[in-house]
Amino acid sequence: MNSKKVAVITGASRGIGRAIAIDLAKEGFDIAAIARTSDSEGMTSLQHEVEKYCTDFFPIGLDIADTSRHMEAIESIMGRFGRIDLLVNNAGVAPLERKDFMEMTEESYDRVTGINLRGPVFFAQKVAREMKWLKSKYPELSLSIVFITSVSSYMSSTNRMEYCISKSGLSMAAMIFADRLAEEGISVFEVRPGIIETDMTIKVKDKYDKLIAEGLIPQKRWGTPDDVSKAVVSLARGDWPFSTGSVFEVSGGMNIRSL
């Protein structure tokens, strides 16, 4: 078995996933980075960043919605490292086109929920089975799963219904995983980002700039991928050993209800 902790990050080639991979490498984790293609420009540059910290980088090409290839990816990680200490279930997409839900298509719904909900749930299920086996062999290991959701899990956006449904479902999945895996000694957490400056939000930057200026976010700024990665690193370090099932919101206070 690998002597260093191993983190598996889905959606690792850009945005939040990229920041998480780099910050976990700084913490000494070896990184198994999953993206749709293993040799993209994003993955190549991520490898350079990760290897600066003298840690191993293992790129894997996988569309997380393709559940038939999940075990192939997991077996390759176990073959390479012999362990998975942390899964960060981060992969996600927005609708290709924001439309009023009255115009939402089945194709868009299936695409978004397949990548954001169905794929992550079944990938985490399979990783959890490996973690259960690891824990039975090496009870001293500290194993955890982190689901990256969104404030859209509880906030309505009528022009991207499929996205909100996918994140709401993933939030419930995180709770159920935490409930079931507590008895196995595996911690599960939900990290819930707010409006984060990434490729996903660049198309609506003007809209959110205006809303932020009008007070949508109490802390009055965009979030960054680094804001989210800091929360994940804290969880990965084991700073919250008695908090399985907790939700860590990284939204600048969007969860505050005030008059």
- The confidence score (pLDDT) of residue 231 equals 98
Tell me the longest C-alpha to C-alpha distance in the chain. 55
Cα distances from 211 to residues 45, 167, 254, in angstroms, run 33, 22, 12
Q: What distance in Å separates the CA atoms of residue 20 and residue 114, rounded to the nearest whole number?
A: 23
256 φ, ψ (degrees, to nearest 5): -80, 125
Residues 64 and 120: beta-carbon distance below 8 Å = yes
- The confidence score (pLDDT) of residue 259 equals 83
The overall average pLDDT reported for the chain is 97
| Fold adopted by 6-250 | Rossmann fold (3.40.50)
* pTM listed for this prediction: 0.97
Q: What distance in Å separates the CA atoms of residue 21 and residue 128, rounded to the nearest whole number?
A: 20
What token pair was written down for 78?
């176990």
Query: Tens of pLDDT along 190-216?
Result: 999 999 999 889 889 999 999 999 999
Return the closest-CA partner of residue 43 out of 57, 55, 28, 23: 57
3 SS3 class: coil
| Pairing state between β 143-148 and 57-61 | unpaired
Query: Tens of pLDDT along 146-205?
Result: 999 999 999 999 999 999 999 999 999 999 999 999 999 999 999 999 999 998 898 899
- The confidence score (pLDDT) of residue 199 equals 87
- The confidence score (pLDDT) of residue 203 equals 85
User: Cα-Cα-Cα-Cα dihedral of 96, 100, 105, 111, to 10°?
Assistant: 40
Helix extents (H) in 88-160: 106-113, 119-137
196 SS3 class: strand
Rounded average pLDDT over 87-110: 96
Q: What distance in Å separates the CA atoms of residue 64 and residue 170, rounded to the nearest whole number?
A: 14
Percentage with pLDDT > 70 across the chain: 100
103 φ, ψ (degrees, to nearest 5): -105, 5
pLDDT band at residue 117 under the 50/70/90 scheme: very high
Cα distances from 134 to residues 78, 180, 185, 186, in angstroms, run 10, 16, 11, 10
Q: Where are the domains of the chain?
A: 6-250
Query: Tens of pLDDT along 23-80?
Result: 999 999 999 999 999 989 999 999 999 999 999 999 999 999 999 999 999 999 999 9
